[in-house]
Amino acid sequence: MAQVRDYNKLAHDIIREVGGAENIVNATRCATRFRLVLKKTPEHAKEKIAELPGVITVVENNGQFQVVIGTHVGDVYAAAAEILHLDENGAAAEQPKQSVVNRIIATMSAVFAPFVYILAAAGLLQGALILITMAVPGFANTGTYEVLSFMSWTPFTFLPIFIAITASKHFKCNTYIAILCCCALVNPTWAEMASRIAGGEAIRFLGMKLSETTYTSTVLPPLILVWILSYLERFIEKKLPDTVKPLLTPLLCFLIMVPATILLIGPASAITANGIAKGYNFLAGTAPALAGAIIGGFWQVVVIFGVHWGITSVVLANFDMYGCDIFQAFQTIAVVAQVAATFGVFIKSRNKEFKGVALSAGITGLFGITEPTIYGVTLRLKKPFICGCAGGAVGAVVMSFFHSAYYAYAGLPGPLTVVNAISKDAQMSFIGEIIGCAIAAVIAIVLIQMIGFDDPVSKDAVIAGDAETKDVKATVEEVSEIVSDAAADKTVMSPLSGEVIPLSEVKDEVFSSEAMGKGCAVIPAEGKVYAPFDGMIVGLLESHHAVGLESENGIEILIHVGMDTVKLNGKYFTCHVEEEQQVKKGQLLLEFDIEAIKKEGYEVTTPVVITNSDEFTDVETEVSGKVNHGELLLSMR
């Protein structure tokens, strides 16, 4: 197979040779194959496509025209999806199945990651204004300050529109319809109507009373709007004639989603926010330490879902009634802990590009802007986010014993606002705040250094990075030894226990012909698949019948459980990893029910194939007969 990098061209060529988009009924993919259902197979299409650079072979099986591409099938499918408008037609690639928590985290990261630098840039401008006004208080009364201030708040004010753009791509719906709906939410006219409602005026829509909820700077309402829109749009598209779809689809989606949001979604998020505020007041009055642990530990979780603005009224009421507020003192420690976690990532990460992301996000966090730190760094890596929450909880509990509070309102609580805890009447307040912040920061950073995280290391930096971390005074012989050791470790342990057989005995010509690469197969004795080396998961489908891995020194392997088991759609398979996850040798990857799969009529023989075999002189099977997982199976030269 010739190497190919222009996957867009390959997708175009495949579609052309099978008779064009109008001849394709359905298109999906599995671990290695671009699967097409055609109205009619053109003459010589199989032979022509098999000769295309990047195609391993073509198989026609069970009514499917299967183009075997290998580990880059995802790239070809993505290109084909754009050409065939698969998002609109409902055909989609099988995606990795994740837990609910991981799916929420993945969604939040996917939505915010594309514009995290926009938020960071605005945050830096806000931080600069804070420093300037602290040094020159009169600057806040100038027109220059007003212009720069509204500029700095712009991406936060219109956050729903940014979310509309990225969430529409994530949920696969029309971006322009999503923007239209979210623009309506931040329309100044609605803000004026909401103000009138808050003043006591009753305004109704189709007889239903509207609430005073506004949507600038919100996260949850626009996110839920776009999520529901993705289903609504596809439903409407299926029902409408082609001639009126371009006009009526956006119209109907607009007429349904905007009223649904201001009548249901928005008020529901406001109720959630008010519930958080009431819960805090109760805890703060009865158990300050517990309130500190909860606010310090979970405040950033509340920020993720965008319902943190509900506490603002409580904070302002506290200042009005008591002249101080405990909540913002706790909140500051939560922010400090998350910022410290970001710097902890900066210290530990070996990826230069990601260190840059962490540093810029951390600097922005110093000014109380935590969205870049959360969505760009800590939440994306998961463990650092948890470390930050743990540090915040402990720091806030310690602070509670000093009875610290804020005596001036902080628009954006963070490291630079700790001076708001200074009071002549409560001298220990500032000391307690500083101690709490210091403890939170130290715990977050130390935990990250101890626990670590899945560092997004670039592939070409793995071996080079190891060498660079050696003492600068290392001799030529020591460097040579590093390179030799890395080159020598071209072995693969068995991912399964069972009986080893040659690939030639596998009942699938793609594997038996070694078109996918060299290797062997294992008839499993138990339904468990383990990592054959230290590396990263590079391919994992919702069906969980196959997993692709890449070792730290460049070995690419495909473990394909059974024949045609993709048709089970994940039934009888349990996955314990995620795509792009770093794994250790011997770590459990998959479990499957051997007997249940056999009863469904499928083979369980599992090919173990080195998909980049052409990069090695030879691939040898080192064992015959019985093998246990973790024992030497393959070696490369």
Write out the catalytic residue numbers. 30
How do beta strands 625-627 and 498-502 pair? Answer: antiparallel
Q: Which residues pair with 627 in a beta bridge?
A: 498
> How many CB atoms are located within 10 Å of the residue 211 CB?
17
- The answer to whether 10 touches 34, Cβ cutoff 8 Å, is no
Q: Counting beta carbons within 10 angstroms of the beta carbon of residue 585, is it exposed (0 to 12), middle (13 to 18) or buried (19 or more)?
A: middle
The widest CA-to-CA distance across the chain, in whole angstroms, is: 90
Residue with tokens 């506004």: 214
Position 475, amino acid:
T
Q: What CA–CA distance (Å, rounded) separates 222 from 161? A: 8
Region for 562 from its dihedrals, namely left if φ exceeds 0, alpha if ψ lies in -120 to 50, beta otherwise: left
Kind of pairing, strands 582-583 and 556-560? Answer: unpaired
Query: 445: which 2 tokens?
Result: 């950073």
- 22 burial type by CB count under 10 A (0-12 exposed, 13-18 middle, 19+ buried): exposed
Separation between Cα atoms, residue 510 and residue 82, nearest integer Å: 27
Strand partners of residue 518 = 610
486-490 long-range contacts, CB within 8 A, separation 24+: 486/553, 487/553, 489/553, 490/553, 490/555, 490/616, 490/635, 490/636, 490/637
CA distance 373 to 112: 11
Please give the Cα distance from 82 to 7 (Å, whole number). Answer: 12
- Residue from 95, 144, 175 nearest 570 by CA: 95
Kind plus residue range of the DSSP H or E element containing 529: strand 528-530
Q: What burial class does residue 138 get, using C-beta atoms within 10 Å of its C-beta: 0-12 exposed, 13-18 middle, 19+ buried?
A: exposed
The owner of tokens 């749009």 is 233
Residue 617 class from Cβ within 10 Å (0-12 exposed, 13-18 middle, 19+ buried)?
exposed
Per the CB < 8 A criterion, the answer to whether 435 and 398 are in contact is: yes
How far apart, in whole angstroms, are the C-alpha atoms of residue 605 and residue 252?
A: 51
Instruction: Tell me if 118 sits within 8 A of 54, measured CB to CB.
Output: no
Residue-wise burial string across 455-482, b where 16 or more C-beta atoms lie within 10 A, e elsewhere: ebbeeeebbeeeeeeeeeeeeeeeeeee
Cα separation, 111 vs 169, whole angstroms: 9
Q: How far apart are the first and last CA of the chain?
A: 20
Question: Contact 310/272 with Cβ under 8 angstroms?
Answer: yes
- Give the Cα separation of 470 and 483 in Å (integer): 12
